[in-house]
């Protein structure tokens, strides 16, 4: 779903590819997991956090399909042969080997979604019905931003379980930014996002433990004025992870996030006097 401002300020797009929460009956009938377990891989309420963006001058694009049906932050060819029948066992990346390909095999804590793999026909249907339309829309928005403003800045919003940070030394960050170690966004854009979050009192770490996944690598081309930053928010800051419900102070957190969005909606990738550092 795309929401547009009356006046698009500078080609900034906020995206939430993992907050989809429409679970079809055909899917729920087949999964072995409880509703709470199946939602554990969902970036719950991230779409609500970026909802003010159109009023503040930025575009939003939010998925409606749940991540456990098809993962929009994976390549369409990242298919796990243990999740889909009839797929050759070609070399796989670590995400896909872990069951987190475009058709996920597991949710958080490695819990299997189904008792057996799905057919390749069903996998192709999901990719064609959900994955391709989202990426066609995102590609079109980026092209439109570049044509209108000479730049596109995609801020790809996600959430991370609090236990994903347990292996890190204290203090653990509130937010983790990923820019593929400089390959998907310029230093200026990365610093601007870091500063906007830090001004709200949140601690920020860059590229550890998450440096950005498919969307960053597929779209981020700072040398061509397309910048992509992945933002991972510690879920415990705004929701109860066990019940998947907003915390009582959710609205206060959302107000702080809206101020971040306001600061970033008019972001320029290049300063008037100093060009952004671009890496390919």
Residues 86-103 have a mean pLDDT of: 84
pLDDT > 70 in the chain, percent = 96
Note whether 217 and 256 are within 8 A (CB): no
Determine the pLDDT at residue 168: 73
Residues 20, 131: Cα–Cα separation, whole Å: 12
pLDDT at 278 over 60: no
Residues 249, 190: Cα–Cα separation, whole Å: 28
Highest mean pLDDT among 83-87, 192-196, 210-214 belongs to: 192-196
* Bridge partner residues of 106 (DSSP): 112
pLDDT band at 166 (very low <50, low <70, confident <90, very high): low
Note whether 10 and 56 are within 8 A (CB): no
Residues 90, 194: Cα–Cα separation, whole Å: 38
Residues 111-127 have a mean pLDDT of: 94
Which tokens in the block code for residue 77? 């060819």
Mean predicted lDDT score pLDDT of the chain: 91
- 42-51, 83-92, 187-196, 198-207: the lowest-pLDDT one: 83-92
Determine the pLDDT at residue 258: 97
pLDDT in tens, 186-202: 999 999 999 999 999 99
Q: Is the pTM of this model over 0.85?
A: yes
Note whether 238 and 246 are within 8 A (CB): yes
Residues 93-107 have a mean pLDDT of: 89
**Going by C-beta distance under 8 Å and a sequence separation of 6 or more, which residues neighbour residue 50?**
14, 16, 60, 62, 157, 257, 261
CA dihedral for 234, 76, 86, 122, sign (positive or negative): positive
Say how many C-beta atoms besides its own lie within 10 A of residue 236's C-beta. Answer: 16
Three-state DSSP class for residue 240: strand
Note whether 214 and 75 are within 8 A (CB): yes
pLDDT at 37 over 80: yes
pLDDT in tens, 219-275: 999 999 999 999 999 999 999 999 999 999 999 999 999 999 999 999 998 753 333
Q: What is the residue whose two structure tokens read 């079109």?
A: 140
Determine the pLDDT at residue 186: 96
Q: What is the residue whose two structure tokens read 């729920």?
A: 28
pLDDT at 160 over 50: yes
Residues 26-40 have a mean pLDDT of: 88
Three-state DSSP class for residue 195: helix
Determine the pLDDT at residue 280: 28
Q: What is the residue whose two structure tokens read 């066990």?
A: 242
**DSSP letter for each residue of 152-173:** EEEEEEEEE-GGGGTTSPSSPP
For residue 210, give the nearest of 177, 182, 183 by alpha carbon: 177
pLDDT at 130 over 60: yes
């Amino acid at each position: 779903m795309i929401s547009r401002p009356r006046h698009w300020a500078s080609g900034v797009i906020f995206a939430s590819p993992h907050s989809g929460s429409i679970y079809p009956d055909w899917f729920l009938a087949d999964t072995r997991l409880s509703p709470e377990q199946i939602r554990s891989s969902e970036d719950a309420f991230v779409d609500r956090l970026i909802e003010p963006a159109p009023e503040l001058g930025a575009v939003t694009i939010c998925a409606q399909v749940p991540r456990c049906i098809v993962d929009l932050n994976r390549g369409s060819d990242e298919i796990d042969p243990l999740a889909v029948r009839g797929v050759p066992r070609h070399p796989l990346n670590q995400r896909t080997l872990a069951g987190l390909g475009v058709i996920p095999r597991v949710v958080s804590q490695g819990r299997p979604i189904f008792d057996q793999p799905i057919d390749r026909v069903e996998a192709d249907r999901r990719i064609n019905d959900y994955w391709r339309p989202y990426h066609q829309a995102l590609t079109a928005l980026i092209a439109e931003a570049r044509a209108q403003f000479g730049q596109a800045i995609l801020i790809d919003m996600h959430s991370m379980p609090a236990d994903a940070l347990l292996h890190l030394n204290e203090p653990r960050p509130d937010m983790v930014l990923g820019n593929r170690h400089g390959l998907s966004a310029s230093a200026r854009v990365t610093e601007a996002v870091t500063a906007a979050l830090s001004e709200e009192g949140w601690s920020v770490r860059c590229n550890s433990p998450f440096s950005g996944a498919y969307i960053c690598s597929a779209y981020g081309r700072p040398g061509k004025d397309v910048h992509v930053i992945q933002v991972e928010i510690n879920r415990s800051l705004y929701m109860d992870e066990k019940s998947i419900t907003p915390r009582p102070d959710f609205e206060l957190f959302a107000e702080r996030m809206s101020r971040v969005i306001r600061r970033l909606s008019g972001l320029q990738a290049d300063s008037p006097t100093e060009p952004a550092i671009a890496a390919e």
